[in-house]
Amino acid sequence: MSLVRTLDLKSYTHGSQQERSKFADEFGHGLKDIGFITLEGHGINPKLIADTYAAIEKLFSLSPEIKQRYAGESGGQRGYTGFMKEHAKQRKVGDLKEFYHVGQELPHGHPMTLDYPVNVWADEVPELKPLTLSLYRELERVARNMLEALAQHFDLRQNFFSDMINNGNSVLRLIHYPPLEEGMPQDAVRAAEHEDINLITLLCEATTSGLELLTNEGEWYPVEALKGQIVVDAGDMLQRITNKVIPATTHRVVNPKGENTSRFSMPFFVHPYSGYLLETIPSTITPDNPERWPAITAGDFLYERLVEIGLIKK
């Protein structure tokens, strides 16, 4: 049996009271015990996912000069970030990946537009905008359901977590890991061991395997998603507000062992809005687990972490 539980979102969205609480507990325990769950029944159209993968393959096959034109000026928060630019926080060597970020699009004139960098779109791939924005909305919907289930697990009001992501700073990251080539630094890897910065991350099934999680016993364990499944894990912001009752999941992407091909993946990093104050949930503070971190806004926390991983230069 796999360590990673598979849950069916329909049992939460359409289930009986009992099925809903079972889902909420399995999700909470999946994150606490292992750090990842895989999700079925999320209702995202498989064609939308397949078409988005086709569009990102086209995007990354553009020449380096053209791609560089779409590097946003926001510390990698929007548009293109080149090969080996990002590194895990304890490392100097960059990851063997290039990526493209799509962020929140608010209605014209919305007061929070000033909080977020604007999206960057590549003229050569016009389908990228409608596809990624639709997928963004769909993943936001699924994230909202998952956060509602998590609130149930913690006995909090239903919208406790999901209200944080109203007009939130979530980011859809489109990643290309090229095939390995001679001359790449010996110790470089596709994605070195790290934790995500945000609340939770949803990953539509990647095009090849390679994702691994670190177990409590300190062993690396492969996370395989079947077609149509979404992988969900916990990030630093959730760890922070739950006083580490839900630890951030340590994970990595290893270099190909068999066929040396490109790998594409699409993590959706679920973030609160920038002004949200990340405060410890009172019920997670106990004599055995005293409060670990002071309050900080989501925007300030994100900025600190983007400096640590090399995307913003201080």
Choose the contact partner of 173 out of Fe ion, ligand AKG, none; CB within 5 to 8 A by kind.
ligand AKG
- Is 265 one of the binding residues for ligand AKG (CB under 6 A)? yes
> Residue 95 CB, nearest distance to ligand AKG (Å)?
8
How many other CB atoms sit within 10 Å of the CB of residue 308? Answer: 14
Which uninterrupted H or E stretch holds 69? helix 64-69
The answer to whether 219 touches 161, Cβ cutoff 8 Å, is no
Q: Which of 88, 96, 203, 241 binds ligand AKG (CB under 6 A)?
A: 203
Site map (CB under 5 A) of Fe ion, residues 174-213, x = contact: ----------------------x-----------------
**Is 251 among the residues that bind ligand AKG (CB under 6 A)?**
yes
Alpha carbon distance 241, 238 (integer Å): 5
DSSP 190-209: SEEEE--SSSEEEEEPPSS-
Of all residues in this chain, which one has the CB nearest to ligand AKG in the complex? 265
Nearer to Fe ion, 196 or 212 (CB): 196
What ranges in 70-221 are assigned the alpha helix state H?
A: 128-153
Q: How many residues bind ligand AKG (CB under 6 A)?
A: 11
Is 236 a binding residue for Fe ion by CB under 5 A? The answer is no
Maximal CA-CA distance, the chain: 58
Q: Which does 230 bind (CB under 5 to 8 A by kind): Fe ion, ligand AKG, none?
A: none
Using rule CB under 6 A, residue 211 touches ligand AKG: yes
Distance CA 113, CA 34 (A): 37
Q: Which residues contact 222 (CB under 8 A, 6 or more apart)?
A: 209, 211, 212
When binding is defined by CB under 6 A, the residue of 267, 268, 274, 298 that contacts ligand AKG is 267
Which residues of this chain interact with ligand AKG, rule CB under 6 A?
173, 175, 191, 196, 203, 206, 211, 251, 253, 265, 267
